[in-house]
Structure 1
Amino acid sequence: MIAHLTFSPLLPWPVIATLAVLTLLPCLLALATRRRGGLLRLAGFAVLAITLAGPRWTENTTQKLPDVALVLVDQSASMDLGTRHEMADRALAALQASAGQTDATRLIVADIPPVTSGGTQILPALHQALANIQPDQLAGIIAITDGEISDAAGLPRDTPFSALLTASGPETDRELRLDNAPSFGLVGQTVSLRLTVFDHGADDAGTIVPVTVTEDGQPVATAAAVVGQPLSVGLPIHHAGPVVIAASTPPLAGAVSAINDQAAFTLTGIHKRLNVLLVSGSPNQGERAWRLLLKSDPAVQLVHFTILRLPGEPIDADPRDVALVPFPVRELFETDIGRFDLIILDQFNASDLLPAEYLANIAAYVQNGGALLTEVGPEFAGPESLAGSPLGPVLPAIPTAPGTVTQNFSPTITPLGARHPVTASFAGQTLKPWERMEAATPAPGSRVLMTGADNLPLLILGNAGKGRTGILLSDQLWLWTRGGAHAGPALPLLRRVVHWFLHEPALEAEALTATITHDRLTIDRRTLDPSYPGDATVTFPDGRTKTLPLTQTAPGRFTSTLPVQASTGVWKVSESGRTAYAVASPENPEEYQDLAATASAVRGIARNIVWLGRNPTPALGPLLSPRHAVQITGSSSLPLLPPLPTLLVALLLITAAWWRENGASS
């Protein structure tokens, strides 16, 4: 029971205060001048003021409330290391057992959940839990954590805070941090990778440690890094498409983990501009279509020449008035041929348009890794066909009877074309008709992706030496660019053909890729082999392996998926001699920067710091400050001065003072 004096004023407090001041001043003046009745007047007004204040004696019956201890348990990713969760569970069980021995303390447990950025953040969980706790009951806040708290500076200072750290003492950890990881680079150039090695919890600033950089698992650079100082490493871009870059350093002796001793990212190589040479054997209806299609591709830089007359053809005008731009035969096909990524010959024949040695140069260019695409018309079946020139050995087809076929036909994607990335997206479509094509026999090893009239080959792709070659056995592609009844996928088809020649990874017929998104590894195998599928072997970042069967999802395409959970690092996928790599990046990179358990973040804030490796079952009592909070269950109140009798007494005192003052004056 709690008893105390309360007031229930009969008038508002400002009114009572005003009356008290107005009456006190004359009384004090009377006392100062020693006038008779001054004390009686003061006593009367004092009784009147106290009566108006309404003093009461109040007695409350109360019930003691338990103290509340808030326990926050760290569930962030860094707690998955070693036995940290086991330490946390053991400590929580000890606190719960200690609280269960008495009704004086109630334990509230809340998790510190993992977040997507910013490291371990305790304040959101703390504020949410405090919203349901009376402040006068909160006896203490206890955090069971590894100490890697990014927002510890915002913890309240008016409530006892204790940190139970899941380690035996301060730990050490080596981190390789990518300061600047380029996401793309131009093929043939070098990009700069900036990284820094940190040794957390170790006093070894200035120590030199080796760093190894790999590209798709193959070492490409080594360097010496000074601990705590940035290091730049140059990375050459060898080819277009994605490549996994990984940097690693030897582990620090005694470090708590080697997870962050390596860092990886995906770098995509891109071509700045693809140099394409288009040579038209004569003006034709498809010439404009080729130009429009190639110029519409921002990745292509086009050089186009049209041969308007034969070199020995007589003319009746001054050559200076006819050949405004001389055809630079020697520059194009001898000195500068190597700077082109692709040569396209449009309706071209061997009738004195180019000397035989230049056609041989083109053939050698292809054999050494160049690319050649030819679009042919009736000239292909004639006596001056390119098939009979020095260029013939690198062409993917040779003309055959009946030669030129003149009839309407709709191009059709072959079963092989339905599996090939260049034409797979057009399989099953009804394509608009063309009007003419050339009969030809594919060269050994060539691939017929489209057929035309009488099921004759129409689009053939193949290889010659180190290079690539292709042929379109019709000069009617331009019909698809006219719109209306002849509208067709001229631009997407040509773009895919051109980029296949330029080795775009997404258009490779035989390929193995691996990607990681939303904590799931996806394996994609493309092949033209109709007897596929097979199995893929996955190598985890920690060296473990797992075999996954691949399932067909489309013609020539087989996939499989695997959860990657919290494993970070480089994943390797192998299948039939092919290898692909994928990077699993942590959802919250800051969480993995420093994995060493430490008290530095809470030092100066926490009243108690307990290392659970030394004291695995801490007692609850020493971590709290008792609050002695109570809840009022009942109340009784009695007036100390009954208003009416007390007012009469005050009136009598004031009257007596007046009488005494007047009696004295008479």
Structure 2
Amino acid sequence: MNHNPELLIRFFPLMPNWLMIALIALAAILSIYAIVKGARGWIWRVSALTLFLLMLANPSLVEEIRETKPDTVLVVVDQSTSNQINNRDAETEKIRREIENKLGEAENINYRVITVADNPEDQGGTMLFGAIARGLSDIPKTHLGAVVLITDGQIHDVPVGQNELNGVPFHALLTGSPGEHDRRLKIIRSPGFGIVGQPQKITVHIEDDLNAESTVMLSLRSDGDVVQNQAIPAGRDVEIPLTINHAGPNIFELSIPKGASELSDENNHAVVTVNGVRDRLRVLLISGDPHPGTRVWRNFLKSDPSVDLVHFTILRPPEKQDSIPTEELSLIAFPTKELFEDKLYDFNLIIFDRYRRLSVLPNEYMLNIVEFVEKGGAVLDAEGPVPDVSLSLFDTPVGTILPTATAQKTIDAEFVPTLTGDGLRHPVTSGLPGLSKDNKTSKWGPWLRQMDAQIRRGTVIMDGAGNRPLLVLDRVGQGRVAQLFSDQIWLWARGYAGGGPHSELLRRLSHWLMKEPQLEENDLSAEVQGHTISITQRSLMQSDNNIVLTKPGNETEQVTLTEESPGLARTKINVTKTGVYRIANNKQTIMVGVGGLNPLEYSDLRSSKDKLNNFVESTNGSIRWISEDGIPDIRHLEGNRSLSGHRWIGVKKNNNYSITGIKQTAVIPPLAYLLLGSILLLLAWRKEGK
């Protein structure tokens, strides 16, 4: 800081300004009058009057002691992900140290350093200019001499249009080198959601700097498994088909192999998350003998907003013999061909409620139902008493996919449904309302009747009278089957002896049959909140609660889940890296995404002038690769000159100062006024005396 004196002449009148102006005006009138009249000695009188006015104006020499204010240089260091690859972080630190040393040696220059990193939580990329605005919040614009950017040039908030820091040069010192090569996979369009089971399309684009017209193998993975490999051309938009497999987030990972001499493979993969939504589920309910439970089924299914119900009741009992045609016994004709042949696969679930074998549904349609289940459909058989086992559903082709052999015996006895060991672990029955904390007792009311059955396969999750199987679940091919061996669930709905969780049980049962992910009995799932992954594992068997977590970059970690209840284990993991995490047990692999899955920061990793060039030129600044030009010197120059040159960058001189002191001295001493005035008046008197 310099202390430079500055001399100025200023007037300090001995009387108010208005009076001074009046006197000057009066003196001017008298002087003009004397000149016009040609009075003797007028020149001396006018001189004496002027001297008198000058004395009243009191001119003084003012000496200001000025302290020169230094100019500030803002040094902005890019620490984003793209500026850390290929040894750019070390190059950035070297440039920073040398620029700080040179600024520290320069006279009348202060500097401030700020660092900027990209935000892994969003897709924003490197927001360097937002950080500059925050860094300059307490620096007056008139004190800013220059902004020096140490970056790879991949900045995503470069101003367009008028620059608020008009006149301040921006100098960009680029890491990396010109002509770098990279291969990039970009997602152009992707659906945010899709109907489960229906195909969707995403549009991708591959850019290859070395070979713009090459063909690249694209791999598509879902839940850790490769579902598609396809060779696609670079340099154009290509549509890739995919299928939504389940409700909730479906994560698809696309990847391409690393090219020759490219910078990094960080942008050789991309992740797409499509939220799977289930279309309205269609249920076909076929009721046989009318009974109170029919209304329970109907009311439950009609109350579920996600279910479209088609309900038919077959009223003709088998023992009734008359000549009335079957098709005339319904209010409308039973559309058997339409339901069980033409539109069978439009349904997700078929429920047989106390169905008796009649000629209404011949074996041909029953075989269609078997095929329907094997290909992914579901059947629920709710049994009731039958006079003969040959009239039951078991004695049809559907019996081949049922997990039990129905006996003719009906047990008329009071019993309270209980959960089996598998039932305690299965999500259909685990934790049902009314169970005690240890799941051994319940507050449920009793049922009064049960049909006997012989287990052939499947999983028994509820027992009834005499520990006989009451509710059995099974998987057949790609579909599912359930059997309920009582028609007494309506007692719970009516609140008999306290009732029971009929609605919750039926909801879980029907949605398990229709493959609701949350009701899978052997399943691994995860949810993400911020940087916390919550992992849940369900299992019917006593299983190992250890899972393997694979982080971005293929680093693995063994994680142990905590068993919270039979068949249910959970844990939470805090992670730091952004990207796709794979979670695997010995049967299943799933993927979850943390943070921004396709960061803008990875869209282009090449060092480049393109984004900054126009802006820097508009500020009278410069842009250069340090690998070619070296680290420039610092020059402090007037702002009207060029502020960059070969191997140097300029800092604008703002010439700011503060006044630290003032010294005031009269131009003419008072005694000199008196002496000079006396001489002028004497000369005027002498001239008039002649």
- 2:6·2:63 contact (CA, 8 Å) conserved in 1? yes
**2:386 is paired with a residue of what secondary structure?**
helix
Distance 1:474 1:328 in 2: 28
Change (3 A) 1:643 1:236: farther
SS at match of 2:201: strand
Equivalence for 1:589: 599
1:288-437, aligned counterparts within 5 Å? Answer: 288-310=295-317, 313=320, 323-350=330-357, 354-355=361-362, 358-359=365-366, 361-379=368-386, 384-399=391-406, 403-407=410-414, 409=416, 411-426=417-432, 428=435, 430-437=442-449
Does the CA-based 8 Å contact 1:215-1:243 persist in structure 2? Answer: no
The 8 Å contact of residues 79 and 146 in structure 1, kept in 2 or not, is answered as yes
SS at match of 2:414: strand
Mean CA deviation greater in 344-353 or 61-70: 61-70
SS in 2 for 1:110: strand
Distance of 2:495 and 2:24 partners within structure 1: 102
Match of 2:206 among 177, 194, 197: 197
Judge which range, 92-101 or 368-377, deviates more.
92-101
Q: Does 1:576 align with 2:603?
A: no
Greater shift, 376-385 or 182-191, is seen at 376-385
CA distance in 2, matches of 1:152, 1:647: 70
Task: Measure how far apart 1:195 and its partner are.
Answer: 2.5
Q: Which residue of 1 aligns with 2:539?
A: 527
Amino acid at match of 1:149: I
Q: Is the 8 A contact 2:79 2:118 kept in 1?
A: yes
For 1:83, the equivalent position in structure 2 comes to: 87
What residue is the counterpart of 2:134 in the other structure?
128
Change (3 A) 1:545 1:632: same
Distance apart, 1:47 and its partner CA = 5.7
State the distance in 2 between where 1:645 and 1:479 align. 126
Specify whether residues 442 and 460 from structure 1 end up closer, same or farther in structure 2 by C-alpha distance, changes over 3 A only: farther
Task: Please report the RMSD computed on the Cα atoms of aligned residues, expressed in angstroms.
Answer: 4.3
Question: Which of 237, 245, 248 lines up with 2:255 in the alignment?
Answer: 248
Q: Is the 8 A contact 1:413 1:426 kept in 2?
A: no
Corresponding residue for residue 5 of structure 2:
2
- Structure 1: how far apart are the matches of 2:489 and 2:496? 15
Q: Distance in 1 between matches of 2:323 and 2:23?
A: 129
SS at match of 1:379: coil
* Distance apart, 1:468 and its partner CA: 1.3
Query: 1:391 & 1:529 partners in 2: Cα distance?
Result: 29
Shift of 1:134: 5.0
Amino acid at match of 2:627: G
CA deviation map 1:388-430 (0-9, x unaligned): 5544333233456973343263x44444223222233427454
Cα gap change, 1:327/1:588 in structure 2, threshold over 3 Å: closer, same or farther?
closer
Alignment TM-score, normalising by the size of structure 2: 0.80
Instruction: State the alpha-carbon separation in 2 of the partners of residues 589 and 465 from structure 1.
Output: 41
The SS at the match of 1:426 is coil
Partner in structure 2 of residue 450 of structure 1: 462
Give the structure 1 partner of residue 663 of structure 2.
636
Q: Is the 8 A contact 2:271 2:597 kept in 1?
A: no
- AA aligned opposite 1:156: L
1:94-133 matched pairs, under 5 angstroms: 94-101=98-105, 104-115=108-119, 116-133=122-139
Range that drifts further, 460-469 or 17-26: 17-26
Please state how far the C-alpha of 1:281 moved relative to its aligned partner.
Answer: 0.5
Task: Report how many residues are paired.
Answer: 655
Q: 1:296 & 1:16 partners in 2: Cα distance?
A: 98
The unaligned stretches of length 5 or more in structure 1 are: none
Q: What does residue 625 of structure 2 align with?
A: 611
Give the AA of the match of 1:508.
Answer: E
Task: Give, as a single letter, the amino acid of the residue that structure 2 aligns with 1:537.
Answer: V
Q: 1:40 to 1:365 in 2, by over 3 A?
A: same
Once the two structures are superposed, residues 33-89 of structure 1 have per-residue CA deviations (whole angstroms, 9 ceiling, x without a partner) of 576587678767766776666543222334455443321112223223232221122
CA distance in 1, matches of 2:680, 2:414: 134
In 1, Cα distance between equivalents of 2:314 and 2:448: 23
Once residues 115 and 48 of structure 2 are traced to their aligned partners in structure 1, the CA distance between those partners, rounded to angstroms, is: 66
Residue 239 of structure 2 is aligned to residue 232 of structure 1: yes
Higher relative contact order (CA closer than 8 Å, sequence separation 6+): 1
Q: CA distance change for structure 1 residues 522 and 640 in 2, over 3 Å: closer, same or farther?
A: same
Deviations 1:509-545 (A, max 9, x none): 1223355553455544321111x12433344454454
- Aligned partner of 2:272 in structure 1 is 265
Q: 1:481, 1:51 → 2: CA distance? A: 114
Query: Alignment partner of 1:260: what SS?
Result: coil
Q: Tell me whether 208-217 or 256-265 shows the greater mean CA deviation.
A: 208-217
Q: Could you say what secondary structure the match of 1:82 adopts?
A: helix
What TM-score, normalized to structure 1? 0.83
Measure, in 2, the Cα distance between the counterparts of 1:29 and 1:2: 42
Q: Which range moves more in the overlay, 123-132 or 607-616? A: 607-616
Aligned to 1:625: 651
What is the identity, as a one-letter code, of the residue corresponding to 2:586? S
How big is the shift at 1:286?
2.2
**What residue number does 2:548 align with?**
537
Gapped runs of 5+ residues in structure 2?
A: 437-441, 636-647
| Aligned counterparts of 1:653 and 1:285: Cα–Cα separation in 2 | 135
1:52-201 matches, cutoff 5 A: 55-101=59-105, 104-115=108-119, 116-135=122-141, 137-153=143-159, 154=163, 156-169=165-178, 171-198=180-207
Secondary structure at the counterpart of residue 499 of structure 1: helix
Contact 1:94 1:619 (C-alpha < 8 Å) held by counterparts: no
Counterpart selection for 2:513 from 487, 490, 501? 501
Residue 479 of structure 2 corresponds to 467
CA deviation after TM superposition for structure 1 residue 322, in Å:
5.5
> Which stretch has the larger CA shift, 8-17 or 341-350?
8-17
Structure 2 CA distance for partners of 1:219 and 1:415, relative to 1, 3 Å: closer
**What is the distance in 1 between the residues matched to 2:27 and 2:350?**
113
**Separation (CA, whole Å) in 2 of partners of 1:448 and 1:148:** 61
Relative to 1, partners in 2 of residues 1:528 and 1:48: Cα closer, same or farther, differing over 3 Å?
A: farther
In 1, the alpha carbon distance for the partners of 2:533 and 2:20 equals: 79
User: How far off its partner does 1:459 sit?
Assistant: 2.3
* SS of alignment partner, residue 86 of structure 2: coil
Between the aligned residues of both structures, percent identity stands at 31
Q: Output the CA distance in 2 between the equivalents of 1:461 and 1:610.
A: 71
Moved more, 385-394 or 294-303: 385-394
- Specify the alignment match of 1:599 in structure 2: 609
Within 5 Å, which residues of 2 pair with 1:18-33? 19=22, 26=29
Write the letter of the residue equivalent to 1:600: D
CA contact (8 A) 1:349 1:380 kept: no
